[in-house]
Structure 1
Amino acid sequence: MVRVARVWRIDCSLSRPMIIHRDSGVGASWWLAKLLAQPESPDKRHELIEAFRTRLQPANQDRTLQVIELGAGTGLVSLVLGALFAGYSRNVRNVDQEQEEWAGPFVCAKILATDLSSAIELIDHNRLANSHLFDDRINTVEGSEESRRTCKIELHATELDWDNPIPGHVWDTDRMSGSQCPFDVIIMADVTYNTASFGALLDTLVGLLQGPSDSGSSPIVLLAYKCRDPAERTLWTDALARGISFVQVDTVKGVREPAVEIWLGGWERDVGSLWSGIRVDM
């Protein structure tokens, strides 16, 4: 079987490029890389961007950051996010031996890339081809045998059919309490091409926002949207009817293709408490 590979280089301090068989979600991936490369947003009006950036900050060994991607396609966005998280890894330096030291945080994150069963094989193929970018990273102190683990990034692919109820295995289980863990972030890139699926998509989104139990904070949703048909914009009004609000916070300009709009959202009450501007209704 012949496969065609595209090589993407995302500026996130990776020593080797990322190899993807087919591609989707490039705009969302570029925006995430830019976001996490900046210490803070140059535009202070975007409180929701800062809330999203804070939500993506690396968790520690006592807590795992939970991320799910809907309609992952090739898995590109999930792969890039895993590589970006691994970029926070810890390098150690022995000052007495005149070696440089940069102390970054220990990263603990679990990313679940979901799609229909027909896409899972391709996601798994791309995950294995790029596992060197986000697998557990071990750094060794130069000139000694000392080493330490600097990140634990798990990336899995699983089937999630929007027409069916969310299966229980989608949520991770806390080893200490045995309870299911809600997601911190939901990512949707290029999921609006079929307006007939909007009802099922929003059913799934509502279920993920509600979580497995009353867990307190709800996820923040990243939606990367490329306009193909004005009818697709009914998604925003349909979402608002279910209590879900989105705010456009950025645009990634394309070269030959339409620009990708970056929207952040969640439950309307949560978005309203984080955003000081005016909601954009489409």
Structure 2
Amino acid sequence: MKKLLVLLAVLTLSFTLTACNGEEDLPETMTMAELDGFMGRSDVQYIDLRNFDERMKAGYIEGFEVIPYFDYLKYQGILSDANGGWVFDTGEIGAVGSMREMFNEDKTILLMCGSGTRAQYVMDALLSLGYENVINIGGYAAYIEADGEAVVLGGESFYINMDAKGTYTPGTYFGVSDGLYLATVVINDAGGIQSVFFDAVTCDTDTDADDVKDSDCTTKQAKGDDYGMVTYGSAVQEWYLQANEVAVAVVANQGWDTDGIDDLAGVTITVTGFEDALEDALTQATD
């Protein structure tokens, strides 16, 4: 009987503590659509891995601290996707102590970025160090789509001038795909992707209106508004503007991020040729 009373007392105390705390147990996985139900908790570390300029331009989620992957972790040699492809390898952690100082092992860590790619990579790195409670909750765009309550809108003109750091050979490289798609890539002195310019050859001009295309070709960037993509298609902005948005995304991500580019608002053009042309240019920068 005495043991039963002790057991009942323990159960009552446990129920009381849970009720007073009022916080739901954290799940093993979480999506952006579920995030609002777990905001503002003292047992959680909320981390945004985007660069400061990327975050301030696109917007952010209130309550998340910033540990930029490119501008800090990679730039300082703390953690770097040296092998490419965002597949973590244990040799890519350059400073274990710094990782442990920044990421609190005593809390559940929620990681986010632009699309979830960087978050997954950092999550894999932390798990390799023995962390147990780390969740990749995905990208900021998914939180917007889920009508998240903690959105702080960004400003389109926000920019921080900081050279990206990488492993490419400095210089300017020209990539081509299918003889149509072009990529000009500038690698800075720190080995990072400084700028990207996409273009495509077009031979659709019929100057004398005789239903025969001119033999001379130009490019869609050169034609600009005259290419007339908006006037005859479902696109909301001209071809060159869409191409430039893809280029900005590549620089922000220091490479091609399919999920992030697929989520770009207003970009409806086919981008496969861009990806191949970029790969051609970066291959030259690796040789």
TM over 0.5: no
**Which of the two has greater helix per residue?**
2
Report the structure number with the largest CA radius of gyration: 2
TM superposition score normalised by structure 2: 0.24
**Which of the two has greater strand per residue?**
1
TM superposition score normalised by structure 1: 0.24
